[in-house]
Amino acid sequence: MAGKVGIKDVARQAGVSVGTVSNVINNPELVSDDTRIRVRAAIERLGYVRSDTARQLRAGQSRIVAMLVLDLANPFFAEVAKGAERALRDADLGVMVCNSAGSTSEESEYLSLFAEQRVRGVLVTPADTSGRAVETLRSRGIPFVLVDRSLPADQGCSVSIDDVLGGSMAVRHLLSAGHRRIAYVGGPMHLAQVRDRYAGGLEAVREAGLGDDAFLPLDSDRLDVSAGRDAGARLLGLAPRPTAVFCANDLLALGVLQSLYAAGVRVPHDIALVGYDDIEFAAAAAVPLTSVRQPAARIGRTAAELLLQETDGAEAAHTHQRIVLQPELVVRDSSRAAASAPASNT
């Protein structure tokens, strides 16, 4: 029955003009008690639902904020999304969560969709490192905030974690446990996160006076558990086997852990393992995982607030901000010195 009830049906039913109905909805204080009650009743009776579509057309922008993440199945991003959602809901905005799956083509497809939808703004973790995503958004005049990726403050807002620092913390931790041959398992290198964490690790290695070959990159094409399993298998085939592995995220680490276990390689006794993100499952893993913790929900919330500030705020008065949060190393069994020197045994 519903679906075709418009504001003018309500107006007729209540015996007033459309303008008055609109006012009852948006500026109740301008309408007399009498009329307001009558209109409200008509709305109720007819089951009228305002068309946000038409409202948006007039207003020029929608009440939806888009969020584009690298992997919806990664609990880290799910947590970021939850944080953002909460903040945006308080501002009466809907969130459209989408998944670029790390693909630049899907990313640009979604960005086009967002542009056509005239979304209020976009929270995005770019899959493309070349800045094309940012460029696209800027040229289309869509407000955005980069999530989990940094940007010079004059180019736009961003909320990120210092990934270089995170990488160096992880590797420094392994070095101090005596490891001298560390592998880095990381997804496609065009992802900034993957590169930065690698860079941080390399920095730590050099700092320790070791050659770059002490930190061996092992490319993986995705950042999920099954890619981790593949990497684990390749790891076992390496000539002088690394004694420690640092993974670009926890999903990879869990995959690596599974492969190693299946092959009878013990963690941390034979190989130490460190992940990244500290997702909830890291602590519950077969061997509780040492990981670099990122304050996921806070990242999401902060990004959402920045976006709100930019769109709602004093318009031209907004100045972009680059917010960089600090990661934190959480040490668990997977990298704890197994009471013996892991250097060169067997």
The sheet with strand 272-277 has its strands ordered as: 215-219, 182-186, 244-247, 272-277, 290-293, 328-330
In the block, tokens 């101090």 appear at: 176
| From 108-116, 207-215, 313-321, 324-332, span contacting a second copy (CB under 8 A) | 108-116
Q: How far apart are alpha carbons 274 and 172 in whole angstroms?
A: 11
21, 39 in Cβ contact below 8 A?
Answer: yes
Which secondary-structure segment (H or E) carries 259?
helix 250-262
Of 1, 2, 60, 211, the one binding DNA by CB under 7 A: 60
Verify binding: residue 112, DNA, rule CB under 7 A: no
Q: 199 touches which of a second copy, DNA, none (CB within 5 to 8 A by kind)?
A: none
Q: 292 touches which of DNA, a second copy, none (CB within 5 to 8 A by kind)?
A: none
- 113-172 residues near a second copy, rule: CB under 8 A: 113, 115-118, 139-142
274, 151 in Cβ contact below 8 A?
Answer: no
Of 12, 22, 199, 281, the one binding DNA by CB under 7 A: 22
Instruction: Choose among 290, 257, 294: nearest CA to 176.
Output: 290
Instruction: Choose among 181, 179, 163: nearest CA to 240.
Output: 181
Q: How far apart are alpha carbons 275 and 271 in whole angstroms?
A: 13
The upper half-sphere exposure of residue 47, i.e. CA atoms within 13 Å in the direction of its Cβ, equals: 4
Verify binding: residue 46, a second copy, rule CB under 8 A: no
| From 46-54, 162-170, 200-208, 234-242, span contacting a second copy (CB under 8 A) | 46-54
DSSP secondary structure of 88-155: HHHTT-EEEEEE-TT-HHHHHHHHHHHHHHT-SEEEE--S-TTSHHHHHHHHTT--EEEESS---TTT
| From 19-27, 123-131, 253-261, 317-325, span contacting a second copy (CB under 8 A) | 253-261
Verify binding: residue 1, a second copy, rule CB under 8 A: yes
| From 43-51, 145-153, 201-209, 309-317, span contacting a second copy (CB under 8 A) | 43-51
Cβ closer to DNA: 47 or 131?
47
Q: How far apart are alpha carbons 90 and 278 in whole angstroms?
A: 27
Q: 2 touches which of DNA, a second copy, none (CB within 5 to 8 A by kind)?
A: a second copy
Gap between the terminal Cα atoms of the chain: 77
Residues 23, 25, 30, 33, CA torsion sign: positive
Verify binding: residue 57, DNA, rule CB under 7 A: yes
Q: 19 touches which of DNA, a second copy, none (CB within 5 to 8 A by kind)?
A: DNA
Cβ closer to a second copy: 141 or 209?
141
Verify binding: residue 288, a second copy, rule CB under 8 A: yes
Cβ closer to DNA: 35 or 258?
35
258 contact partners, CB below 8 Å, separation of at least 6: 225, 228, 229, 232, 286
What does the binding site for DNA look like in residue numbers (CB under 7 A)? 4, 6-8, 15-23, 25-26, 30-32, 34-36, 48-51, 53-55, 57-60
Q: What residues make contact with a second copy under the rule CB under 8 A? A: 1-3, 47, 49-54, 56-57, 62, 64, 72-73, 75, 78-79, 81-82, 85, 89, 94-99, 109-110, 112-113, 115-118, 139-142, 225, 254, 257-258, 261-262, 264, 280-281, 283-288, 344, 346
